[in-house]
Structure 1
Amino acid sequence: MKQVKKYPAAITIFGAKGDLTKRKLIPALYNLFIDNHLPTAFNIICVDFLEVNQDEFRQDMLSGVNEFSRNGAAEIEKWNEFAARLFYLQGDFLKNETYGNLNEKIKSFEKEAGQTISRVFYFAVAPRFIETISDALYQHNLCNKENLDRIVVEKPFGTDLETAKKLNRFLGKRFSEKQIYRIDHYLGKEAVQNIMAFRFANYVFEPLWNKKYIDHIQISVSEQVGVGKRGGYYDSSGALRDMIQNHLLQLLCIVGMECPGAYKSEQIRDAKTKVMKSVRPYTNAEVFKNVVRGQYTAGMINDDLRPAYRQEEHVSSSSLTETFVAAKLFIDNKRWEGVPFFLRTGKSMPAQSSVVVVQFKDSPHKIFRDDIVPNRLIISIQPELEISLLFESKVPGLQMKLKPVEMDFTYKESYTETIPEAYEALLLDVLHGDATLFMRADQIEAAWKVVMPILDAWKKYPQKDLNMYKAGSCGPDAAQKLLKPYAKEWFELPFSKTVKALPDLKSVQ
């Protein structure tokens, strides 16, 4: 973890009674506190419209820490010390009175601290409140110190390119770009951050990281859950907006970026944005050849009967919203020319997993008859944090017989330190003013430019090629066909420990 800044911090969370605050933000801040990563002086002010007294709110947040913190139940003495700096402010986001009361509380803390403070405003709210809260902060001069005050905006950031541009312009008139932290929790995950270290600190891999040696790359995020209670939001969003436009395209940027000149925020964000802008756009016809969409029907997962998407709560019975997307994308630059990047995400899949698979090209000279499996690098983000390299090895014995084996690096076996949650890393970066893991305005817009041709094609032909797949399956058959001739099937993480059961990703002739 980074060194703690010396200035005090006033942290305001809008959306105090939401799941994000209880499950993620307060547990993350509490863990930062007990590990001595927060400033010596800090206040956390949580704002929402419900009438709740301080003791009830603090007890509710304690139950969240006890249930969701990576460190387990809170120590009462430590929690009491933390809770003494945790406050609930009842207020309507739409009323000026709320921001006047908030201003008084922050100024009171600043007076108590006896010096200038850093102010962080976290928008753990529905997207419709982002502009309202932003304008109120601007009008009340609550977030006007460019080098100390910041806002944190959760996804979704816009619903398409035009709304994203509009929101960027709106925020840009009220805050400087360096004050705006567009958060994607995936970028805070330890294994995701390690991809850059793995690539750029190990020269054994970086010279091979190009079209000459790599056949294709798979980036797959599978969710075992369905839409649950998010049907109202999800039915107007879908998997492309919910997962591809942010999480998976961010992973693509990290895997595909050029080495920045230095480990500095803007140089890293420049390199990521350059990759995004190099992704090949598709015509309508190309969309249906290179992108597969699907929707889950009723099925079984772990002996549990799951309903069809159209039977989920708050979902239209005739919905055409996709719950699965598989896409073949190309990065048109010198490094990656002709190398396909396969992206896949889906709900109600057999297992929860996030994995990046780098498939190297086959051996150019085949001197062994059973040299049939190309080298493969597997970076597992979820459920286990590990990196595996698949390579051929001679089986012990008197004959020259080869067998693919795996060389593993696992966090669990290599480190005794506990792994911080993504929100811990990201919140600490916000407090330190480090925007490396956050998306800049031009990167957000570049990501929307990648997906807009797909959204436009689906809008124009709403019923064309919507493939149904059973809950508990690996998605529609069309997604497997999309991989050809590069691979026969998608890599499934549960097989990673059983080499003989590994899917054959060898190029199909």
Structure 2
Amino acid sequence: MTSTTMIILGASGDLTKRLLLPGIGSLIAGGDESDLRLVDGLKVVGSGRSDRADEWRETISGAFEQVGATGDAVDAILSSTRYVQADPTSEEDWGSLLGEVEGDLVVYFALPPAIVSKVAAVLADLDLPEHTVLAVEKPFGDDADSAVALNEALRKVVPEERIHRVDHFLGQRAALAMLATRFNNRLLESSWNADQIERVEIVYDEKLGLEGRAGYYDTAGALRDMLQSHLLQVLAVTTCEAPSDLDPEHLRNSLAAVLSVTHVWTGGKVFPNTDAPSRRGRYTAGEVDGKRLPDYVAEEGVDPANETETLAEIALEVDNARWGGVPFVLRSGKAIGDPANEIRVTYRPVRFRPEGQTGDGHAEVLRFGFKPPRIEFQFTSGGGEMPFQLEPVEVSGRLPKSAVTEYGEVIRGVLGDDPTLSIRGDVAVQCWNIVQPVLDAWKAGEVPLEDYAAGSSGPASWS
């Protein structure tokens, strides 16, 4: 057994309690022998500027209970865990943190990117264990230049292969199912191209409003929070060429290659009532599932002058032989009444339909759903009351449920020294390059910020 200590910086935050700790617990709850070996000898050390030592063990216990984790592995982690009040940018405070380290070291940054760079500068001058791994939460900078600077700071601490830039959407069942379904089914593999596919939409809307996140969200907005990171990674999984191996080198090379030829749409009109390749909106007061939400600008901590969008749509193109001419629409919004969250692939209509048929004949639509994880296929068939009457038919199935959460997939990679489902440094930079023209157009006022009532599907002019 090799001991590993995971120091969680920003341990008092919501991400640690809601996602990271349950992710560790899900590896235990899943019961897979390889996962249990990963957590065997794991010491979890929480750290933050505020003192949470009295409640830290209870926080871990509650997170583990949430995912059904029990047994000796849980007892061992609860017995060894510590909480250290510290300023992560202080070299002196790191003396106390490193004093808790046993064996290999994982430093998990649940911190804003500006703080990550400062902490990395401190770590570069410290005597760290020989095998140290860094795990960093998005956003990876706030533009391409800052992403480059962040990469350089991190690489002064450890080599690139031991930097895990976390995007838990790569651990989503839908994203993993997309890879498996694309590359293992002849029906899809042969039709997965611009000759057969007309449009692809990657949508992740939600009913929730701001939920007290103004400190981060009001300076980020929907585009930076969701499209620039999560949904671009899903686009890459949807469009990449088949790698020869699903290992860190080949899969990440494939994802990087397709993102390198992805840019803002330059073809014909994609959205109604505008020639622009992007749209943005912001919710006003309304009701979602019986809950009254105030105007976004009236939420505590919001600065109206930021003109922060809570709904964003952009159209992109993948400029290669497989995908040339197909618009890829990325969309994410808050306070949406009936939210969609799916990868929606719309096929082109058939070239010819025989006369004498009645009813509606629609092109096929294939959906990979995020919540709940599912696959749906809608196509045209017949055989109804009339002999040549066309009718839509839908075939659907739920994806297998895993005890391991998306963050469990993240932790599995971090503890297992496997960066396959993490973001490579050059990709982090390229994702900013892709969306920068949209950000520039919005900053210049070329795209209006339109209102929509909370509980609606978006601004009235969008439909």
When normalised by structure 1's length, the TM-score is 0.83
- From the superposition, tell whether residues 231 and 40 of structure 1 become closer, same or farther in structure 2 (CA, over 3 Å): closer
- Map of 1:133-148 to 2, 5 A cutoff? 133-142=119-128, 145=130, 148=131
Q: Which residue of 2 aligns with 1:234?
A: 217
Identity of aligned residues (%): 32
Match of 2:134 among 147, 151, 171: 151
Q: How much has 1:440 moved relative to structure 2?
A: 0.7
Q: Which residue of 2 aligns with 1:315?
A: 302
Match of 1:403 among 378, 391, 394: 391
Q: Which residue of 2 aligns with 1:424?
A: 408
Separation in structure 1 between the aligned mates of residue 245 and residue 71 of structure 2, nearest angstrom = 43
- From the superposition, tell whether residues 346 and 43 of structure 1 become closer, same or farther in structure 2 (CA, over 3 Å): same
For the 8 Å contact 1:393–1:404, the answer to whether it is kept is yes
Residue 469 (1) aligns with residue 452 (2): yes
For the 8 Å contact 1:164–1:444, the answer to whether it is kept is yes
Q: Which residue of 1 aligns with 2:192?
A: 209
- From the superposition, tell whether residues 451 and 44 of structure 1 become closer, same or farther in structure 2 (CA, over 3 Å): same
Q: Which residue of 2 aligns with 1:24?
A: 19
Separation in structure 2 between the aligned mates of residue 78 and residue 44 of structure 1, nearest angstrom = 12
- Map of 1:118-129 to 2, 5 A cutoff? 118-129=104-115
**1:349-369 superposed Cα distances (whole Å, 9 cap, x missing partner):** 114442011101111120234
Q: How much has 1:299 moved relative to structure 2?
A: 1.4
Residue 349 (1) aligns with residue 349 (2): no
Match of 1:438 among 413, 422, 436: 422
- From the superposition, tell whether residues 16 and 398 of structure 1 become closer, same or farther in structure 2 (CA, over 3 Å): closer
Q: Which residue of 2 aligns with 1:390?
A: 378
Which letter does structure 2 place at the counterpart of 1:376?
Answer: V
**1:392-451 superposed Cα distances (whole Å, 9 cap, x missing partner):** 22234452222111111213xxx4x64421000110111112111111111111110111
Q: Which residue of 1 aligns with 2:84?
A: 89
Separation in structure 2 between the aligned mates of residue 79 and residue 178 of structure 1, nearest angstrom = 29
Q: How much has 1:289 moved relative to structure 2?
A: 1.1
Residue 41 (1) aligns with residue 41 (2): yes
Separation in structure 2 between the aligned mates of residue 299 and residue 395 of structure 1, nearest angstrom = 45
Deviates more, 1:22-31 or 1:76-85: 76-85
- From the superposition, tell whether residues 165 and 378 of structure 1 become closer, same or farther in structure 2 (CA, over 3 Å): same
For the 8 Å contact 1:46–1:87, the answer to whether it is kept is yes
Q: How much has 1:104 moved relative to structure 2?
A: 2.2
Which letter does structure 1 place at the counterpart of 2:67?
Answer: R
Q: Which residue of 2 aligns with 1:377?
A: 366
Unaligned runs of 5+ in 1: 1-5, 111-117, 481-509
Deviates more, 1:251-260 or 1:36-45: 36-45
Separation in structure 2 between the aligned mates of residue 452 and residue 319 of structure 1, nearest angstrom = 17
For the 8 Å contact 2:361–2:390, the answer to whether it is kept is no
Residue 325 (1) aligns with residue 309 (2): no
Match of 1:167 among 150, 163, 168: 150
For the 8 Å contact 2:44–2:77, the answer to whether it is kept is no
Q: Which residue of 2 aligns with 1:56?
A: 55
Deviates more, 1:427-436 or 1:21-30: 21-30
**1:307-355 superposed Cα distances (whole Å, 9 cap, x missing partner):** 1111111112444111111112111110011111111111111144420
SS in 2 for 1:327: strand
Residue 70 (1) aligns with residue 88 (2): no
- From the superposition, tell whether residues 150 and 386 of structure 1 become closer, same or farther in structure 2 (CA, over 3 Å): same
Which letter does structure 2 place at the counterpart of 1:460?
Answer: A
- From the superposition, tell whether residues 267 and 76 of structure 1 become closer, same or farther in structure 2 (CA, over 3 Å): closer
SS in 1 for 2:433: helix
Q: How much has 1:230 moved relative to structure 2?
A: 1.1
Separation in structure 1 between the aligned mates of residue 387 and residue 435 of structure 2, nearest angstrom = 52
Q: Which residue of 1 aligns with 2:98?
A: 103
SS in 2 for 1:61: helix
When normalised by structure 2's length, the TM-score is 0.91
Q: Which residue of 1 aligns with 2:256?
A: 273
- From the superposition, tell whether residues 376 and 322 of structure 1 become closer, same or farther in structure 2 (CA, over 3 Å): same
Which letter does structure 1 place at the counterpart of 2:420?
Answer: T
**1:213-250 superposed Cα distances (whole Å, 9 cap, x missing partner):** 00111111101111121113222111111111001111
Which letter does structure 1 place at the counterpart of 2:397?
Answer: F
Q: How much has 1:478 moved relative to structure 2?
A: 4.1
- Map of 1:244-255 to 2, 5 A cutoff? 244-255=227-238
- Map of 1:452-467 to 2, 5 A cutoff? 452-461=436-445, 464-467=447-450
Separation in structure 1 between the aligned mates of residue 431 and residue 383 of structure 2, nearest angstrom = 47
- Equivalenced residues, count: 451
- From the superposition, tell whether residues 338 and 159 of structure 1 become closer, same or farther in structure 2 (CA, over 3 Å): same
- From the superposition, tell whether residues 396 and 288 of structure 1 become closer, same or farther in structure 2 (CA, over 3 Å): closer
Q: Which residue of 2 aligns with 1:447?
A: 431
Q: How much has 1:75 moved relative to structure 2?
A: 4.3
SS in 2 for 1:242: helix
Greater relative contact order (Cα 8 A, min sep 6): structure 1 or 2?
Answer: 2
Which letter does structure 2 place at the counterpart of 1:150?
Answer: V
Separation in structure 2 between the aligned mates of residue 239 and residue 282 of structure 1, nearest angstrom = 19
For the 8 Å contact 1:214–1:361, the answer to whether it is kept is yes
Q: Which residue of 2 aligns with 1:485?
A: none
SS in 2 for 1:262: coil
Separation in structure 2 between the aligned mates of residue 419 and residue 43 of structure 1, nearest angstrom = 22
SS in 2 for 1:152: strand
- From the superposition, tell whether residues 388 and 11 of structure 1 become closer, same or farther in structure 2 (CA, over 3 Å): same
Deviates more, 1:308-317 or 1:417-426: 417-426
Q: Which residue of 1 aligns with 2:166?
A: 183
Separation in structure 1 between the aligned mates of residue 112 and residue 385 of structure 2, nearest angstrom = 64
- From the superposition, tell whether residues 312 and 163 of structure 1 become closer, same or farther in structure 2 (CA, over 3 Å): same
